[in-house]
Amino acid sequence: MIPEEVFSRNRFPIIQESRYHFTMGSYDCFWFVLRSTEARTEPCEEECLKLKLREGHPWWEVLKGKTGERLCNSVIPHYLPRVFWFFGKGRIVRQISVVNSCQLKRDDQLFLLVFIQVTYTDCDPEIYQLPMTWLSNEQVQSLTDRHPLATITTLALGDVEGVLCDAVYFEEFRALLLELMIGRTKIHGANGTRLAGLRGGSVTKIYPPKAELFPSRVATVEQNNTSIMYGDRLLFKMYRKLEEGINPEPEILRFLAGKNRFRNLPAYAGSIEYRTASGKVYDLGVLQTYVSCHGDAWRNTLTSLEQFVEYLLSNKHDLPKLPALQPTLLDVVESGIPIEFGDFVQGLHLEMALLLGRRTAEMHLALASSPTDSDWSMEAFSTLYQRSIFQSMRGLVRKTFLKLSENLQLLPEDVQHRAGQILEDEKEIVAYLKKITGRRLSAMKCRIHGDFHLGQALFTGKDFIFIDFEGEPVLSRSERRLKRSPLRDVAGMIHSFHYAAMTTLIHHGAIHPEDTPLLESWLEAWYIYVSGAYLKAYLHEMKDSPLVPANRKDLAIMLRCFMIQKMVQELGDELNNRPDRVNLTLRGIGMLLRESRLSPP
Q: d(Cα 95, Cα 203) in Å, to the nearest integer?
A: 42
Least confident of 126-130, 218-222, 285-289: 218-222
The DSSP annotation for 441-452 comes to PS-EEB---SS-
Structural domain total, the chain: 5
* Cα dihedral across residues 101, 102, 103, 104: positive or negative: negative
Report which of residues 89 and 459 the model is more confident about: 459
pLDDT tens digit string along 299-351? 999 998 998 888 888 887 777 777 777 788 888 898 888 776 766 665 567 88
- Pairwise CA distance, residues 571 & 75, whole Å: 30
pLDDT digits (tens, 9 = 90+) for 44-53: 556 667 888 8
Q: Residue 409 maps to which CATH number? A: 1.20.120
| Residue count (the chain) | 601
- State how far the Cα of 209 lies from the Cα of 94, in Å rounded to an integer: 48
Lowest mean pLDDT among 23-37, 88-102, 348-362, 485-499: 23-37
Confidence of residue 476 (pLDDT cuts 50, 70, 90): confident
Q: Rounded distance, CA 244 to CA 454, Å?
A: 29
Q: Do 358 and 477 belong together in one domain?
A: yes
> Position 585: which residue type?
T
Would residue 515 count as lying in a domain?
yes
* Judgement on whether residues 435 and 556 belong to the same structural domain of the protein: yes
How do residues 426-440 score in pLDDT, each as one tens digit? 999 999 999 999 788
Choose the weakest-confidence range: 28-37, 263-272, 579-588. Answer: 28-37
DSSP string computed for 4-61? EETTT-PBPPPP-SS-------TT----EEEES-----S---GGGG-EEE-TT--GGG
Vertex 224: Cα angle to 120 and 527 (nearest 5): 115
- In this prediction, residues 107-121 reach a mean pLDDT of 88
- In angstroms, the CA 264 to CA 367 distance is 13
Structural domain includes residue 355: yes
Per-residue pLDDT reduced to its tens digit, 188-218: 877 778 899 988 865 555 566 777 788 888 9
pLDDT tens track for 337-376: 877 676 666 556 788 999 999 999 999 999 998 888 888 9
**Do 272 and 336 reside in the same domain of the chain?**
no
Instruction: Give the domain range for residue 18.
Output: 1-36
Predicted confidence (pLDDT) at residue 38 exceeds the cutoff of 60 = no
What are the tens digits of pLDDT across the range 57-92?
Answer: 888 888 998 889 889 988 998 899 888 899 887 778
Flag whether 41 is in a domain: no
Does the model's pTM come out above 0.85?
Answer: no
The verdict on 178 and 280 lying in the same domain is: yes
- Our CA dihedral for 549, 551, 557, 561, rounded to 10 degrees, sits at 10
Q: Are residues 404 and 485 in the same domain?
A: no
Check whether residue 339 and residue 449 sit in a common domain. Answer: yes
With cut-offs at 50, 70 and 90, classify the pLDDT of residue 467. very high
